[in-house]
Amino acid sequence: MVRQCEGAKERILTPLPRRRFLRVGAAALGGALLPASSAIAQTRITAVDLGGATLFEGAGCNVLALAGPDGALMIDGGLAANAAALIDAVRKASGAARINTLINTHWHPEQTGSNEAVGKAGGIILAHEKTKTMLSNTVYSAIGFTERVRPLPQVARPTKTVRGDGSIEFAGLRIDYGYMPAAHTDGDLYIHVPTLNLVAAGGVVSSAEWPLLDYKNGAWLGGRVRALERLATIVKPDTRVVPAVGRVMTGKEIVRHRDMYQTLFTTMIGYLNMGLGPEDAVQRNPLKEYQSEFGDPSAFTYGALRSMMIAYVPD
């Protein structure tokens, strides 16, 4: 059972790369054309024990799950084509008969594919109120989506929304959540389980690639910097940080990423003052020293400066 912690307060604080999206999108389409049993058979979900929580890989994004007496808690839900296989894997690993609570860190299809199944089964779906807005309307995105993203059915939309920071209690654990405005989308939440020294950071960070900015829907480089600054105050050097994609990171890496994005922000301000545009930023390649680690930064660099140009449009 999930309940709001006594004394918990909410306070308002003042993407996937195209190549990967197309790859998982094609897989999702193929799965959607198969009978449910065949789709499950073709989806390989792997489970990694994190000590008190389980990480599931292969569903379209990293998914965390915790076992509880009234059902499991999931953080993100993978692609819709993989929902049945994922939920089956969570049930087996947790021993739970159902999913009690599903938390969406943001609205992208890789995070919300299990919403409909969980909603139909009577589970709680928790997300930021802006995530619910995006899931309730047709959306055009700056991140990898070649077509409009249509709204989810009513039953698949969040049933509990938050505006800022707060906590819930699940299976005797305090689970903190916090809002990261305009960081990857405009409805990003991080989830922190202090007892487990574990953070789910969603699409704001990545251990293997550049997490793009959905600048068409409110995200910008300043929001990314602010989110990393916030995460850096929460983590310890050995905190396990689960990004939307890639291996589990450490708190020490989060501090490094904060410094990297802070430096980039200063560089981009300089570009704006010089009258440079996104294409110029790509050509100058301010992130070239990280290219061997995270891949070609061109799309991220373009979006970063484009987002700043939108953010700094005079009133």
Q: Model confidence over 28-86: pLDDT tens digits?
A: 333 333 333 334 446 799 999 999 999 999 999 999 999 999 999 999 999 999 999 99
Does 199 reside within a domain? yes
**Once rounded to an integer, what is the mean pLDDT over residues 174-187?**
97
User: Among 12-21, 155-164, 191-200, 244-253, which is the least confidently predicted range?
Assistant: 12-21
Does 287 reside within a domain? no
pLDDT at 22: 33
pLDDT at 314: 61
**Which residue would you say has higher pLDDT here, 116 or 8?**
116
Both tokens of 46, joined, read: 């792997």
For residue 7, what pLDDT band results from cuts at 50, 70 and 90? very low
Does 275 reside within a domain? no
Does 276 reside within a domain? no
Does 283 reside within a domain? no
At 183, which amino acid appears?
A
Please count the CA atoms within 13 angstroms of the CA of 181 that sit on its side-chain side: 8
Q: Is the dihedral of CA 304, 13, 131, 242 positive or negative?
A: positive
Does 298 reside within a domain? no
The answer to whether 190 and 175 are in contact (CB under 8 A) is no
Gap between the Cα atoms of 251 and 195, Å rounded: 15
Please count the CA atoms within 13 angstroms of the CA of 245 that sit on its side-chain side: 19
CATH label of the domain that carries residue 161: 3.60.15.10
**Structural domain of 247:** 2-251
Both tokens of 126, joined, read: 């928790």
How many domains in the chain? 1
